A and B are shown apart, each in its own frame.
Chain A
Amino acid sequence: MQTPLALDRDPTPVPIVRLSDEDLMGRVAEGDERAFTELVRRFQGRVTNLVSRVLNDREASDDLAQEVFVRVFVHRRNYRRGSKFSTWLFTIAANLAKNEIRRRVRRRNWFSLDALQEVLGDSSSHLADPTEGKEVSMQREQLQKTVGSAIASVPEKYRLALVLRDIEGFPYEEIGEMLNIPGGTVRSRINRARGILKRKLIPLLRKEAEQ
């Protein structure tokens, strides 16, 4: 039976939920499984959301998010103490998501831009037709699907920066560390991604606003 070594040594243990992410990761590096589980609980939502938005594939995102945390555990001794845990975690997540996008592109198991335009076209006509009598919630759901597809159509190198910034809310500097690019490049990629997304979505958003 494996016991959490770090907690056993500590005469006055701090409740694990009150430890910082970095302290928890320090314990994980020593083999503390409870600390690892706590870290997974803290970040599982954000990591799953990131990979889901980047891949636009809910089913695959669960497996990929799991793989992110498995890598954290397997490579726990590579974590540099003192560095921000979330930056390290999302660097792993971004790399895995990037690899998955490229693998899908290689296997041609990914929808094409033409297919996306079809989706956008269908959505546009669907939302533009007030006689269909759809519920507002259904329209919103459809719009969210379309936004998800539009994000997935943004080129990979812009997409990751966009999701990290505009969905996960990371600061530019941290995104630069995660993607291993300078801050200026992060800004230009995000500007570019926002422009692409705006051109794709604004006809839909204007029509929705008019309704």
Chain B
Amino acid sequence: MNCRQARNLFSAYWDDEITQGEREWLESHFSSCPSCRREYDALARTLEALSDLPRVEVSNGFADRVLAAAKRRSPAVDRMPVPVRRWVPITATAVLLAIVAAMVMQWSGMPLGPRHQGSVALEQPVLTQPQPVQTEPATPAMATVTSPDWVARAAGVTDSLFDHSEDVEFILDPVTLRKGRAHTVVRVQPEPARGEQAVITF
């Protein structure tokens, strides 16, 4: 071992966390190496200076001040029981039960409200050709929504979840793209709005 290895042992030597073999070697090294001896003495004097530092005195009434501050800061729950909100687990359980019941009914083939209506729609004629949208010039959108013809046609559209062989066609409002954002084109001119068509296949 050399001086560098010896200095690596200084802290452990001070802490008395050194093996007997290391201690004997280090002490014999000290006797032959005045430089390492001086370095260790310097470390020892430094650490003695630390341990010689006087203890900081605690101010009078410290414990009382701490207790008063602790009681002020302590949450009210520690001294006064707060009613536990029991509605949260009850509500969660009710929701969970409702979900499980719905899943069981679906798996067992029991008809649910909306699905029952869907099965009737399957028996209706399938709309395969797009129809031109007839709108009034003043309020074209509202006219499209409230039209009795549109409702009748919509009822006849096949639910694509059950009939994958048919394409469903949607009439879309005209849309323009500006700087990456879509803007619906609002036409206030007397000419009727012209829709564009898109075909989405499921």
Contacts and interface: CB of A to CB of B under 8 A. Distances in A.
Interface of A: 2, 31, 33, 36-37, 40-41, 44-45, 48-49, 52-53, 58, 61-62, 65-66, 69-70, 72-74, 143-144, 147-148, 151, 162, 166-167, 172, 187, 190-191, 194, 197-198, 201-202, 205-206, 209
Contact of A194 (B11, B62, B70): B11
The residue among B15, B57, B70, B79 with the most chain A CB atoms within 10 A of its own CB is B70
Contact of B53 (A73, A147, A190): A147
A62 B66 CA distance: 10
Contact of A73 (B51, B54, B70): B70
Contacts, number: 102
B42 A205 contact: yes
Contacts of B67: 33, 36-37, 40, 73
Query: What's the interface size class on B, roughly?
Result: 20 to 34
Given A44-B63, A197-B50, A49 B70 contact: no
Contacts of A74: 70, 73-75
A172 B66 CA distance: 29
B47 A147 contact: no
Contacts of A167: 50-51, 53
Contact of A66 (B53, B56, B69): B69
B49 A194 contact: no
Is the contact region of chain B dominated by helix, strand, or loop, or is it mixed?
A: helix
Contacts of B49: 143, 147, 201, 205
Nearest to A58: B56
A57 B78 CA distance: 34
29 contacts: A31-B78, A36-B67, A37-B63, A37-B67, A40-B62, A40-B66, A40-B67, A44-B63, A44-B66, A48-B58, A49-B56, A52-B56, A53-B53, A65-B62, A66-B65, A70-B73, A73-B67, A73-B74, A74-B75, A147-B49, A147-B53, A151-B50, A166-B50, A167-B53, A194-B43, A197-B50, A198-B46, A201-B46, A202-B45
B91 interface: no
Given A49-B56, A74-B74, 10 more contacts: A31-B79, A33-B67, A44-B62, A45-B57, A144-B54, A148-B53, A194-B43, A194-B47, A201-B45, A206-B42
Nearest to B11: A191
Is the contact region of chain A dominated by helix, strand, or loop, or is it mixed?
A: helix
